[in-house]
Structure 1
Amino acid sequence: MTRSYGSYLVSLVVGLTTVGAWLYFCSAYTHRSFHTDPTYRRAAVAVYLAIVAVKLTNPFHGIYFTTEFVTEPFPHLTVIHGTFHWIVSGLSYALVAVGFFMLYELFLESDYDTRPLGIVAAITGLPVVFDIVGFASTSLIDINYEPLGVAVFAVGVLYVFEEEFLAVQLTDGVDDAVVYLDDDGRIRQFNDRARALFPSLAGAPGASFSAVLPDAAARLGTDEPVLDRTRDGETRYYLVSDTAFTMGQTDIGRLVVFTDVTNTERQRRELDRQNEQLEGFAAAIRHELLNTLQIVSGRVTIAGEALESGDVQTARESLRTASRTADRMSDIVGDLAELARHGQTLEGTDCVDLAATTEAAWDAVDTGDVSLSVDADGQVDADRGRVHGLFESAFAFAVHNDASTVAVALDDDGFSITDDGHPVGDDAPEDFFRYGVSVPDAASGMLLPNLRMLARTHGWEATIDTAYTDGIRIVVRGVGVRRRREQAA
């Protein structure tokens, strides 16, 4: 009996020590300073020694517990806990709860799922229920069940939640979406930001990262590490990077971080667009200058030869042609200067009625006998003047393309402009949008490049539908469209 009594006293002292170790761990793990603050440390040691002293001297005063030998349900030494025991137990559980709160707060800040931690906390606290049942009834033996909770907690941390504790520690202070991989590239953990960004991660733990997120995996270690994701109609850009981490000399996994670089990437793409636009303008001016100089030079030569031979009429016509060509060049330069102004970054957009804008642009172009049909019952988020210019270019191109009808149609992601003129034929579709190429001819060679430039200032993309062979269909995508029925709803 004496040996059992002594063993129980030792277990009480060791159990109290685990509470201090737990608080020390929680403070250090969550980067708090309680474990290093001298005031807290001295107070903790004083309280610990006072409680230990009461426990060790219990054989003399019996205020912590008393013992009694019983024979039911089997012969054993039962422990009858005193009031001081329940006070110390309540304090211990309160301190353990403080530690769990520190962990819970860190898990929330790191944007990780707190449910596993809640399960561990519940299992750790379950023995207190057994203690109360054992004290209040005969259903259980009235002993301390805390060692069971501590053992289950240790097993849970070491074998079940070890990776989550490690992942939270590694990503503490990281505000980005994070996916934690093992050394074989399998997904082990991820935070809530990653789950929101990639819903496919929901059932992915244990699966290969490259299989679940192939686009992201393909960008790791490449010259194009930026991944775009569209949510709620908005496209955002993320820099995909990974960092290996080791324990000792062994690689134990990688962290894949998705850093939101939307503003930087948008600025970079806008600069690329403006540089491409300037290069296009330079190519257009160079092309037009060469054509103009060739025509003017040829006409002046013809005029000179005609004057020498006394053919004044031919000389006059040649000089008029040279003058008209020079004026045309001046108009082109002026138009490009205006387009350069329109090609600057948009400062804002309005809700533009597409049907009304289409009709206004149609009236501004000399369309002759060409007819227009419009199926555009809705609005687009755009700059009114630039959209007007876009449709002017499209309609002028249709006239040059010998069209007899032009149709404008609005859909959920943009709109199309279709004419029944000459199809693309053997020409490359992209050549229609390049300055200086003059496709299909010199008179219309700048119209579609202007159209694409005005589309790109909005972040839209203009292409030619190569599947349409009864003419030319220009498709503009990436447009913010608001249907009438949506507005009414």
Structure 2
Amino acid sequence: MYESIAQAVLPIDIQVWYVLVFGLAAVACLVSLLRVRKIEHTGTRQGLSALLAMSAVWALSHVGYLSTTDYWTAVAFHEVGLLMGIATVGAWLYFCSAYTGRSLHHNPRIRQVAIAMFLTIAAIKLTNHWHGLYFSATATTAPFPHIAISNGILHWTVMGGAYALASVGYFMLFERFRQVSHNAAPLAILVALTGLPIGLDILGLISPALLDITYEPLGVAIFAVGLMFVYVARFETIRLAGEGDDPVVVLDERDRVQDFNRAAARLLPALTETEASGGEVPFEEIVPGIADLLAVESPIIELQNDSETRYYRVTEHPFSAGRTTLGRGIVFSDVTHRERYRKELERQNDRLEEFASMLSHDLRNPLNVAQGRLELAREDRDDDHLESVAEALDRMETLIEDVLAIARQGQPVDEREPVDVGRIARQAWEMVDTRQADLHVSEGTTVEADPDRLQQLLENLVRNAVEHGGEDVTVTVGPLEASDGFFLADDGSGIAPEDHDAIFESGYTTAEDGTGFGLAIVEQIVDAHGWTVALADSQTGTRFEIQT
């Protein structure tokens, strides 16, 4: 009865219809495969390419199976289809994982398990003619002469597992579509169409109206044509909009809003308002001045969010399909914590600068007056009391210089250049009263630094070595062996173990005439460069290591 109805509706032989439909599905997959190179994202492109190629072979295996009445030829085509069917599940999951920004397709353990499962199932399928547990084949003439397949328990077990795994891919895709609050419906429908052939599978199982074969290649073919020929731009914009947790707005080549994710909708409520009103709105109307802002390197934008001012670094990511530029994605990365820290640091630096100016002006003036008066007094008489006053005034001037250095050298280094540490060490040596000390420098040590501050750092370390190591101390400067940086060491008496934890504290000194600021200044300069300084273990003397 079903054959007569089919022939009445479809005057062409029903076998030809089956061959034609699956043949067209194979062609659709192969033609779409030629356009997959338009997909920019590597993982997505690889997964989709594998899915379409395997689905094309799967559809062609159906064509071969339906076109022959030879038992072994039909069984061979059927087994090829079985292998491609299980392989497409892996390609589908790879594609879904890559498109949704996950890393499952890169996980070595998952890959190993997937390969092991495929090889096991393939072995079971290919040895079916010995055990017969996967399927059996018999010749039939209904609805046309062909080799009919009756599936066994192993087939349904594997099929159930395959559908369960495929549903994981659907979950990943629909979750991504849910994250994107705009323009995702057409793609969601397109993805859903890949599952419709399951209904044909069930109908073929329970009714003689359809052959009992798998119709999944038809769903993949519809998905491929719709994706690569109709919705490729939307496919790319949704991938970009859903990438990461940061707010993302996707613009077309004319900077009109094409898509955005839910994080962007929360950050910029005007996006939702323009979506509700319809039409494509220029992004400049939603974020005024965005074009000028993006022209700046690493732009920071200040936005009011939930009655709180937050800061975002705005970056753009152009994307295209092949040679056709589709637009760009605008990503807002929350840098509020860093920006607040930077602003607080600027305020602290401003206060330090004010303090330094106060020291320089308000203390130096009376100090200069006192020193001038002292010189006049010493012209009339010179005694021990006036000498003590002179020493006290000189010490006060040294303290002011050191405090000024701490206030100024702690500011971050904005501009750096390649600097030869050996050359700077020799310059620093010339600026310090080194008495009978010797300097040994290893050549070839270069760091990115502010040369003036580096020289002051080395001056303080040299002065510390000479003052605490003795007049005939030997100072050595050279590169670190295990990491980037340099060291300054001396062969003096060294620093007592109980003093190691306190040497970088401001005002700490073991010398009667010391200010205790020399090594504190060293630490300030090191911190300003983003380096680290440490007192290293040494068999003789003292060794400071600066890691850059």
- TM (norm. structure 2) is 0.40
Higher relative contact order (CA 8 A, sep 6+): 2
